[in-house]
Structure 1
């Protein structure tokens, strides 16, 4: 039997995501064509087919709408599956973290309705309004902190734990590069395949041993003793 509460929740989630996506798409298109000062929130609402109240239920400003929202991109069921950690390790990341991050990222991308056209609209909007670059940088930092908190919660560690920080930075860099490749104009490969190729390349690198002290030679920072 289908759980009606879960069905209703999933429907609301999809409707919310669709509304958010529509608002963002309109805001980006208008910014690319006219600049931020060339249109109003009311015009965005009219084009997206929503009320002003609905707009502000999703975003605080036109700038927010152009940048988009990270929290709305994380479906509850995908987060629930990610947070299931069958092998927690004391004071260390678990052996299932990479696999869980892989599944979560692929799930989010394959459910996403974002298109190559929308990505190009976003780039055009940022190009038209360079002031958004600073905002985008801050948003990126905020998302990185949210991502670290997400990983830390799954692993039962502090967000500042070295392994959590390294995992989020490295995986974030790989997924960012994957997105750039996937949305490039000449790409015909599926996101999953590109991500797996890039992750396997990273795994090969980080599986290599570090140099020993003998291989490194004398420490150049080590001060020499005065023979006198």
Structure 2
């Protein structure tokens, strides 16, 4: 495996439909190619068996998403030559001994907030980085990040308005840090970008493990994104 440099442009593929992750990468100077994995998350979790650590669950989900996209990318002619890195992520909230993801409906989100309000949980995000050279996986690195989130207690009317907005229904833990939900977060202990859904410090370290420098990904600075 050779080192990626400005002489060898690197394309980054984000294996996620999350607009927050996409916006985060763009703000950090990277304009990724987006591919959505549509992994059966329930099937992945079931395959892990009972009693698996929450940190393992999110990391395995992120890895499954990255691997599915890597297989698809490897079959595409435009990626047959050169270096591509696939970044897969999965976020869930560990709170009260349970690991919860997207609530999907208002009643579930309301029940989640009955537990979260005035309490704290750990937002766990699994990250997987796969490096492909000429369409073949040549290196991989995967780990999780965890950030403690301290939740406020929303006024009941404000909470109902928040639920009605639809925002908390499609995000891990039924809250956001960078949207309307930010009003109800009293503080965090850890990396704010990981709460948004992609931990830049951890991804930087994972990219280093697969021999890709951050500056090769910056738009207009040697990256081909």
Using structure 1 for the length normalisation, give the TM-score.
0.28
Structure in which a larger fraction of residues adopt helix: 1
Structure in which a larger fraction of residues adopt strand: 2
